[in-house]
Amino acid sequence: MARSHLDLDSIHDGDCLEWLKGIPDESVDLIVSSPPYNIGKEYESRRALKVYLEEQAEVLSECARVLKSTGSIFWQVGAYANNGSLVPLDVRFFPILEELDLIPRNRIVWIRQHGLHGKNKFSARHETVLWFTKSDEYKFFLDPIRVPQKYQNKKSWRGDNKGELTCNPLGKNPGDIWIFQNVKHNHEEQTVHPAQFPEDLISRIVLCSTEPGDVVMDPYMGTGTVAVVARDNERHYIGAELDAGYHAVALRRLSGEPDAQGVFPNLKTLRDYCQRTGGDPADYRFDVQTARVASGRAKAKRFSEEHHLAQLEERLAIEEAAFGDRIRGLGDGRPDLGRFRANATPSLFDDETV
């Protein structure tokens, strides 16, 4: 079929597959998305796993076609649950992507501190992001995404480089375990969508795999997180969204303006607007607001990904030590968290306060 030109900085209101078929070959630098998981949530329809994967293979085939030779695909997936059994979807997606001659680079584990508690199996606390490239000549930029070193001023104590820093002063590689906060209640980015990307997670992907002016695509745009991040980092965006309500929210986030009733799609957009115009946040509202008035950003408290990762590591150490004490008959059989918390960092698992 004839391919149309790229309609940059736009979100198609409709199904992604037919839209994808109209995009020219090798015209996109980065594809990042989280497709519907097909696990029976209220915003998805449950279908047979086989049919779901066949449909996803067709979408990914078009994604591979439109991706530039230097481009990357980051595909974030969870798990398919059916009558108590669980299928990690990344296991099923991996061969689909390989059959398209895409090259695996990383399997990124996105840790979730909170979620539903399992009764007959271990509680699920992570999802995955599969990173594939179209060739070995792919873009990857580490400096924009470096994180602080554990020992930032560590120096060599012997040899020709004695007294010199033994680590990169810009920071270290963040690794393949990520712990960005879920966008749930008490998070300024929350919209009406029940499972949206955190903007910081998408920023890491965009900054490491693209340059200013590149084209970023999300075929399942939802409420527009990928578009917002691409625009804010001087990249172009394109995408599609089938749900008319989510599509409308995405456009409202991109506009940065209140609607006729003075309502914003989320607290972040409201705060950005007031910061830009000098307005009072209390004069406006946002879609999922529960508090009487909206608060300004000066009253918010945010913790970095590194903070949450350190907190999680500490929490896991506490749990494992408490378990070890119990099976060895120490104490009364219950974990003595007070003892383990004596030297623990305060406010474990604090969410962002907005």
Above 80 in pLDDT, residue 275? yes
CATH 3.40.50.150 fits 10-139+176-254, yes or no: yes
Rounded to an integer, the average pLDDT of 259-282 is 95
- In the chain, % of residues over pLDDT 70: 81
Distance CA 352, CA 188 (A): 8
pLDDT band at 6 (very low <50, low <70, confident <90, very high): confident
Higher pLDDT, 317 or 36: 36
Above 90 in pLDDT, residue 120? no
Above 60 in pLDDT, residue 337? no
Predicted pLDDT at 82:
76
Predicted pLDDT at 348:
43
Beta bridge partners of residue 203, listed in sequence order:
none
- Cβ atoms 354, 300 nearer than 8 A: yes
First to last CA, the chain: 49
C-alpha distances in angstroms, 183 versus 25, 269, 293?
A: 34, 14, 20
Beta bridge partners of residue 129, listed in sequence order:
76, 108
pLDDT band at 248 (very low <50, low <70, confident <90, very high): very high
DSSP 10: E
Distance CA 343, CA 309 (A): 17
Predicted pLDDT at 178:
92
Tokens of 28: 């996109």
Distance CA 96, CA 44 (A): 22
pLDDT band at 41 (very low <50, low <70, confident <90, very high): low
Beta bridge partners of residue 238, listed in sequence order:
10, 217
Distance CA 221, CA 16 (A): 9
Choice among 14-28, 59-73, 126-140, 151-165 with the minimum mean pLDDT = 151-165
- Cβ atoms 264, 168 nearer than 8 A: no
Predicted pLDDT at 62:
98
Higher pLDDT, 14 or 172: 14
- In the chain, % of residues over pLDDT 90: 55
Q: Is 180 exposed, middle or buried (0-12, 13-18, 19+ CB in 10 A)?
A: buried
DSSP 23-45: SPTT-EEEEEE-----S--TTS-
Tokens of 219: 């075929």
Q: Where are the domains of the chain?
A: 10-139+176-254, 256-299, 305-343
Predicted pLDDT at 153:
65
Instruction: Give the helix ranges, DSSP H, for the chain.
Output: 16-21, 49-66, 89-99, 199-209, 225-232, 244-255, 267-277, 305-327, 337-340
Rounded to an integer, the average pLDDT of 136-160 is 82
Distance CA 353, CA 335 (A): 29
Mean per-residue pLDDT over the chain, rounded: 85
Rounded to an integer, the average pLDDT of 166-190 is 83
Beta bridge partners of residue 59, listed in sequence order:
none
- Least Cα distance to 192 among 253, 246, 240, 268 occurs for 246
- Least Cα distance to 206 among 68, 62, 66, 31 occurs for 31
Above 70 in pLDDT, residue 78? yes
Predicted pLDDT at 296:
86
Rounded to an integer, the average pLDDT of 158-187 is 79
Distance CA 290, CA 216 (A): 33
Residues 6+ apart with CB under 8 A from 338: none
Predicted pLDDT at 81:
77
